[in-house]
Structure 1
Amino acid sequence: MTKKERAGIIIEILEKEYPDTGCSLEFDEPWKLLVSVRLAAQCTDERVNIVVKELYKKYDSPQALAEASPEDIEKIVRPCGLGKSKARDIHKCMNQIVHDFGGKVPDNFDDLMSLAGVGRKSANLIMGDIYGKPAIVTDTHCIRLVNRMGLVDGIKDPTKVERELWKIIPPEKSNDFCHRLVDHGRAVCKAREPECEKCALNFSCKKR
């Protein structure tokens, strides 16, 4: 069985296991996802969803965040960890959105990568969840699971994992596939104590 064939089977199973997948960061405007994904670094999505409620009560637009001081932003986002650097990135990013992109989150990968605090993972998330374009988000769940499933071979570097997955994951399936990996990683294929006995993918698991 080729990796592409294996990936096709895994995609079908994950679609049945997690039919209603999606981003667990809560947002109703594109710029809010951009803020949340920066805060989510080394922080749980659940905590981010709580913290941003207070942030958006005080700053309800990219313009408002751009005009705020990084220090004031930090006071609110500190519970997410790395408050100083995250606040600085959010402030600079929102300034770029306002002054370089007319207040709108850009819809192409290179422009997204030019924003403060935005790396490949964040750019892919925006491309997939906001603009509905093919996207592979190589977060910790993705990297752990695709190695266990044998879709990549001992690769831990996110960019290299992404590159390998583009070869075998159909573009139209890519975004939901990554969300379903997160679902499965949280529910079953956990980092320390995976529940292998109830895993629908244990046939393909190197760990097992």
Structure 2
Amino acid sequence: MTDPAPKLPPARERAGPIRVALAQLYPAVETALTHANPLQLLVATILSAQCTDARVNLVTPALFARFATAHEFATCKIGELEALIKPTGFYKNKAKNIRGCCAELVARFGGRVPGTLDELVTLPGVGRKTANVVLGDAFATPGITVDTHVGRLSRRLGLTRHRDPVKVERVLMELVPQPEWTTFSHRLILHGRRVCFARKPRCEACALAPLCPKVGVAGLAAKRKRAKTRAAGKRRGNGENATPDVKT
């Protein structure tokens, strides 16, 4: 009979050492999205949905050279906007949201980006994640940004079991001191991009390994093995059933 797995200390007790370790790994952090003002960050964050920050940064120089104000975005030709942002994917929906968002900025906020969460989330295409990015990096207002990396690492580290981003955000707000909300989010994002990958985390190279219960990690290898088995079966089936090439 095997011994039962040791019970983890409460998340609140483990959050402190995790915060310290992340701060040592990534002392100076900020958003990777290139921007010069709150409007540019807002637009870039909308573009970053289902797209890498690096790709967004390739698109925005030409975009911001063409449209510099909320009014210019709001009154632009949708086809021109779509063409400029097409490399970021889902460009039709993003163009619609950017133009609609900027129209609201002009109509309700004098063309300026508002500095509160409640106001930001009323804008088209702006949810809590986008709003917290803008607040944290454009207005120095602390906020927890829950993207795919923050959600995944929070669960693997045993800080929460939730998958709903709003619930994850609420839990982390309780576990992390408010002044660290923005930097903690950035550090989890960086660690997710560099070490704690979704399908094959580099646990052997992870400085957080002594603090991490690796929730869900054990099942990843089994999933990869099953996927390889299925792929091999398909290849064998295709080979057996394929019609040989015959020269006529």
Asked if TM exceeds 0.5, the reply is yes
Q: 2:183 aligns with which of 162, 167, 176?
A: 176
Q: Which amino acid is 2:30 matched to?
A: G
- Distance (whole Å) between structure 1 residues aligned to residue 177 and residue 40 of structure 2: 28
- Matches for 1:68-147 after TM superposition, within 5 Å: 68-147=76-155
The answer for the alignment partner of 1:187 in structure 2 is: 194
Q: Which amino acid is 2:89 matched to?
A: G
- Distance (whole Å) between structure 2 residues aligned to residue 171 and residue 4 of structure 1: 14
Q: Secondary structure at the match of 1:167?
A: helix
Question: Post-superposition shift, 1:205?
Answer: 3.0
Contact 1:21/1:179, CA 8 A, preserved across alignment = yes
List per-residue Cα deviations over 1:82-110 (Å, max 9, x = no partner): 11110010001111112210121101111
Q: Secondary structure at the match of 1:193?
A: coil
Unaligned runs of at least 5 residues, structure 1 = none
Q: Which amino acid is 2:187 matched to?
A: R
- Distance (whole Å) between structure 2 residues aligned to residue 205 and residue 124 of structure 1: 28
Q: Sequence identity, in percent?
A: 42
Query: Which one has more relative contact order, counting CA pairs under 8 Å at least 6 apart?
Result: 1
TM-score under structure 2 length normalisation: 0.81
Contact 1:7/1:168, CA 8 A, preserved across alignment = yes
TM-score under structure 1 length normalisation: 0.96
The answer for the alignment partner of 2:172 in structure 1 is: 165
Q: Which amino acid is 2:14 matched to?
A: R
- Distance (whole Å) between structure 1 residues aligned to residue 126 and residue 79 of structure 2: 20
The answer for the alignment partner of 1:28 in structure 2 is: 36
The answer for the alignment partner of 1:51 in structure 2 is: 59
Compare 114-123 and 66-75 and name the one that shifted more: 66-75
The number of aligned residues is 207
Contact 1:34/1:122, CA 8 A, preserved across alignment = yes
- Distance (whole Å) between structure 1 residues aligned to residue 77 and residue 154 of structure 2: 41
